[in-house]
């Protein structure tokens, strides 16, 4: 073979190898990524021939099921409509998937079935996916959704000991049977960002007591109008409290005390405890990452979290839930859950178990600890302080007969001239933690959000 022909042969050989490598990249190495891409309509069309598994509530009520269409295809139906739309999501051949329908798609189409189940399904006329049983409690979810009507807001309720999501409700919701007609499928419980107001004082109290620098009976100065970070800060109603205990400062939600405590603890200490509570990262929940938002001091224009070390962050005002701090309801429910659980933050979870078409449980995730945030002693002390808020402070509307409720209200000022606020309550009993946010209304967290929390706790058997 002469040299020119040999060179041409080598060139063609190299080009052929490149072509094989390129096609292999997508057909072999990139296949999983292509299949999981929510924008891949071809995969969604092919999966219409699979009878997706049923999604059920904790009491086995059907939240999502399949109905047979023409041509051997299946469509999705949602018997509870908008009630569970935010956690369950939707499966729509035209616009894709959201919520649990998306996160657990592989299980719902049977892609994660054991070999015996897969062989059984392949020998039948129709391939059937696995079922999901969620932790959601219908009576409490329905009550929360009803109480939110006429408002924009969200309610989250978690099991204190295991992080199980009992309630994940928000308004407005949408019709999962017609998601293409929805103005928005935005989930306020996991994506909505709000200034937490005085509910953040529970995080500051945790940092203060766990550091050993403060105790519930430590004497502090509740004087009104203190200069914090170069700017005077007022208490609610410009009240001057004088010499009080740290517990009294939480019971009466004294801004000047908690801002000063935050400054004295310092940026690093506040950052440490915010990190421990899960601020600054997406919650470790079985739910799509792009449908959850991290909490923390935020540069809204750049859409990023700012560290406490940033000179743009006012540590004193962050300590009382003001300044640049923005949080999700799920984050604040997690704060309450952690304190109620002796200082251990649990990973929130929506699914109790996965069941194959033969009724066998193939996966039953155990409750998983995310982090020990504080000592058990600190959690008990902060919990006692929060019980004082419900017993004799701004949270009395959340009190339950015969049940100890710990809580903290929050009223984040949005438009002072018009009296428009974001209204909060977070709290817990021995079994359930709850967070309630009502957006941009007149009133106080203690008079608007706390009564909603009370009724949700009652619906959960508290």
The answer to whether position 96 is within a domain reads no
What's the confidence (pLDDT) of residue 112?
66
| pLDDT value of residue 104 | 98
HEC assignment per residue over 398-431: HCECCECCEEEEEEEEEECCCCEEEEEEEEECCC
Q: List the CATH number of the domain containing 405.
A: 3.40.710.10
Residues 105, 53 contacting (CB under 8 angstroms): no
Is residue 421 in a domain?
Answer: yes
Separation between Cα atoms, residue 446 and residue 395, nearest integer Å: 5
Residue 361 lies in a domain: no
**Total-model pTM:** 0.90
Does any domain span residue 131? no
d(CA 25, CA 382): 55
Residue 445 domain flag? yes
First to last CA, the chain: 88
- Domain range holding 226? 139-350+370-460
Residue in the block written with tokens 């006329």 = 125
Strands annotated E in 246-373: 296-299, 304-305, 325-326, 344-346, 351-355, 361-363, 369-372
Q: Count the domains in the chain.
A: 1
CA angle 241-245-249, nearest 5°? 55
State CA 210 to chain mean position distance.
Answer: 25
pLDDT tens string, the chain, 462 residues long: the values are 566 666 666 666 767 766 666 655 545 555 555 455 555 555 667 787 999 999 999 999 999 999 998 888 899 999 999 999 999 999 999 999 999 999 999 999 998 665 444 455 455 567 999 999 999 999 999 999 999 999 999 999 999 999 999 999 999 999 999 999 988 999 999 999 999 999 999 999 999 999 999 999 999 999 999 999 999 999 999 999 999 999 999 999 999 999 999 999 999 999 999 999 999 999 999 999 999 999 999 999 999 999 999 999 999 999 999 999 999 999 999 999 999 999 999 999 999 999 999 999 999 999 999 999 999 999 999 999 999 999 999 999 999 999 999 999 999 999 999 999 999 999 999 999 999 999 999 999 999 999 999 999 999 998
For residue 277, is the peptide bond before it cis, meaning its omega torsion is within 30 degrees of 0? no
């Amino acid at each position: 073979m002469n040299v020119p022909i040999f060179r041409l042969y080598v060139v063609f050989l190299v080009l052929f190898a490149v072509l094989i490598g390129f096609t292999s990249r997508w057909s072999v190495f990139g296949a999983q990524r292509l299949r999981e891409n929510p924008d891949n309509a071809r995969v969604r069309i092919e999966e219409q021939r699979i009878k997706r598994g049923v999604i059920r509530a904790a009491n086995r009520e059907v939240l999502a099921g399949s109905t047979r269409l023409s041509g051997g295809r299946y469509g999705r139906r949602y018997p509870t409509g908008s009630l569970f739309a935010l956690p369950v999501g939707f499966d729509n051949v035209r616009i894709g998937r959201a919520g649990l329908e998306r996160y657990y798609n592989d299980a719902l189409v049977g892609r994660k079935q054991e070999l015996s189940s897969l062989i059984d399904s392949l020998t039948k006329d129709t391939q059937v996916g696995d079922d999901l049983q969620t932790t959601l409690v219908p009576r409490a979810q329905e009550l929360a959704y009803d109480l939110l009507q006429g408002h924009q807001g969200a309610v989250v309720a978690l099991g204190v000991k295991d992080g199980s999501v009992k309630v994940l409700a928000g308004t407005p919701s949408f019709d999962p049977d017609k998601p293409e007609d929805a103005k928005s499928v935005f989930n306020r419980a996991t994506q909505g960002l709000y200034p937490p107001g005085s509910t953040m004082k529970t995080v500051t109290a945790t940092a203060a007591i766990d550091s050993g620098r403060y105790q519930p009976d430590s004497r502090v100065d509740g004087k009104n109008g203190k200069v914090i970070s170069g700017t005077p800060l007022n208490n609610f109603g410009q009240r001057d409290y004088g010499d009080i205990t740290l517990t009294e400062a939480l019971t009466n939600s004294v801004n000047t005390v908690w801002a000063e405590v935050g400054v004295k603890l310092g940026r690093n200490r506040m950052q440490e405890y915010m990190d421990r509570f899960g601020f600054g990262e997406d919650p470790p929940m079985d739910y799509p990452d792009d449908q959850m938002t991290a909490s923390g001091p935020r540069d809204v224009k750049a859409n990023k979290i700012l560290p406490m070390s940033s000179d743009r962050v006012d540590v004193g005002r962050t300590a009382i839930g003001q300044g640049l701090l923005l949080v999700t309801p799920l984050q604040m429910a997690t704060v309450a859950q952690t304190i109620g659980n002796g200082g251990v933050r649990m990973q929130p979870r929506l699914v109790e178990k996965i069941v194959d078409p033969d009724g066998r449980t193939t996966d039953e995730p155990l409750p998983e600890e995310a982090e020990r945030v504080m000592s058990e002693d600190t959690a008990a002390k902060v919990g006692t302080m929060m019980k004082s808020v419900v017993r004799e402070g701004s949270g009395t509307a959340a009190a339950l007969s015969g049940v100890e409720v710990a809580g903290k209200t929050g009223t984040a000022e949005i438009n002072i001239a018009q009296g428009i606020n974001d209204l909060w309550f977070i709290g817990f009993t021995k079994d359930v933690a709850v967070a309630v946010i009502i957006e941009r209304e007149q009133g106080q967290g203690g008079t608007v959000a706390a009564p909603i929390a009370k009724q949700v706790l009652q619906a959960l058997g508290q």
